[in-house]
Amino acid sequence: MMFDFDVFVIGAGSGGVRAARMAAGEGARVAIADDRALGGTCVNVGCVPKKLYTYASHFSHDFENAKGFGWQLGSATFDWPKLVNNKKTEISRLNDIYANLLNNSGAHIIRGYACLKDPHTVTVNGTDYTTKRIIIATGGTPNIPNVDYADLLISSDEIFDLPKFPQRLLVVGAGYIALEFACIFQGLGSQVQVSYRGDLIMRSFDDDVRRFLDQEMCKQGIDIHYQSQVTNVVRQPDQSLLVTFLDGTQTEVDQVLMAIGRKPRLTGIGLEKLGIKTTAQGTIAVSQNFQTNIDSVYALGDVTGGIELTPVALAEAMTLVNHWYGDGTKTMEYDLVPTAVFTQPNIGTIGLTEEQALKKHGKITIYRSDFKPMKHTLSGSDERSFMKLIVDAVTDRVIGLHIVGEGAGEMLQGFAVAIKAGATKADFDATIGIHPTSAEELVTMRSPS
C-alpha cells in the first residue's frame, strides 16, 4: 500500500519536532500536526518563558545585595507589561525558528488538531492523511480540578500573560512548577502564599533538599501553609478573590495559581477508537521502543508517563528514529537524569535520594555541607547553600548529588557527566577545586556527616 507519508507526528513540541526533523533527515516523508504554536509547552508556556521570568525576578534580590558592595541605587520600578511583551517577542522568534527547522528538514507542517482514524490514517481539519507510522507526542496540560470555581483559577499556561500583575498570589501545590512560580512572583514584587495539602514541599526530592529549600523560601517572605486545602474561591465586588480553606480560614488574593500537576493531552485524539492501551494514570502504555499495542502507532514524551523533561523527550525522539532508520543501538536510560529546579535558590540533583539509596544499596556514606556563599559575606543576605553527596560504601561510587544554591543547575551539568561515567568519591577527592567557587565544595568534602 502506498501511503501519503512514512511518518506522521501528532504534536509539535520538543519531542515531536525532533522526531520529525530527524526522520525527515533520514529521507522519510514526514508530516507534523499541531493546533498550537510550534515548540509545545517548553517554548511557549514552559521552560523558556519561565526561565526568562526567573531572570527578571532575580533583579530585585540583586539590587538589594548590591548595597553591601558599595552600590547606592535609586528606587527601582517594575514594568510587568514590558516583560510580558518582550517575552512574547522572543517566543515568536523561537516559533519561527522551529518552523524554519521543520521546513528545512523537509517535514510538512499541518496546522490543526490531529486525531486517529485508523492505524494508518490521521485526520486534521476534516482531511485524512495516510501514513506508515504514527507518533503521538502531544505532551501534557495543567491539571485543573473539576470544581465549581474552576473558572476563577489560572494555570501555568495563563500566568505568563496576565493583563494585570497580581500583587497578591496564592499558589496551590508544592512541586517544582508551583515553587518556581512562587519564587518568580515574590521576586517581581508579589505577596506570595503557598497552599499544600502535604507535610513538606517538593515530594520525591531528597528530604534534606526539601527542608533546606523550605527554609530559604520562608526567609524571602513566601508564606507556606502545610496541611492546607482550598475548598472555595469567590470573586468579590472589587475583583479580588476570597479563598476559603478546609480549616475555615480565608485569605484575599488577586490570583490563584493551580499547580497540582499535569496530565497527558490526549482528549479527542482517538485512542479508544484504535484500542490503544493506557495506564491507570491515563498515559499511553509503550514498549522500550516506544511502540503501543498497535504496531504502527508510537508515543513518546510526557504522554507516556515518564520523566517530564524536555531533554528526555528529545533523547527519546532520537532513540526512536535511530531504531527505525539507524543502527538501532541507541537506548534510553532513565536512572541518572540530571534535573534543575529554578527556584530561589536553585536546585540541582542527579541520582538517588538518601532514602532511595538506603533501599537500593544498604550501606551508604553521606557527605553534607551547609554554608554561606562568599557573595553573601558582603551582600547582607542570609541566603545559604547546601550540598550533599551520597556514596555507595561498597563501590565508592557517587550515586546521588544534590545542590541547593545559586547556579545549581549550571554546576550540576558537569558533575552529571562525571556521575554518568561512574565517578567515585576518590575521583571527586582527587580533583582540584576551583577557588573561590561554591562548586569546589563538592570536591573538598572529606568528613562524612
Active site residues: 435
Cell matching residue 286: 509503550
Sign of torsion over alpha carbons 216, 222, 223, 225: negative
Q: Rounded to 5 degrees, what are φ and ψ at 366?
A: -110, 135
Cell matching residue 61: 534580590
Q: Which residues 6+ apart lie within 8 Å of 336 measured at CB?
A: 350, 351, 416, 419, 420
- Host H or E run for residue 411: helix 408-420
What is the distance, to the nearest Å, from the Cα of residue 319 to the centroid of all Cα atoms in its chain?
A: 21
- State the DSSP code for 442: G
Question: How far is CA 208 from each of CA 300, 353, 391, 407, rounded to the nearest angstrom?
Answer: 33, 9, 16, 18
Q: How many CB atoms lie within 10 A of CB 121?
A: 17
The DSSP annotation for 208-220 comes to HHHHHHHHHHHHT
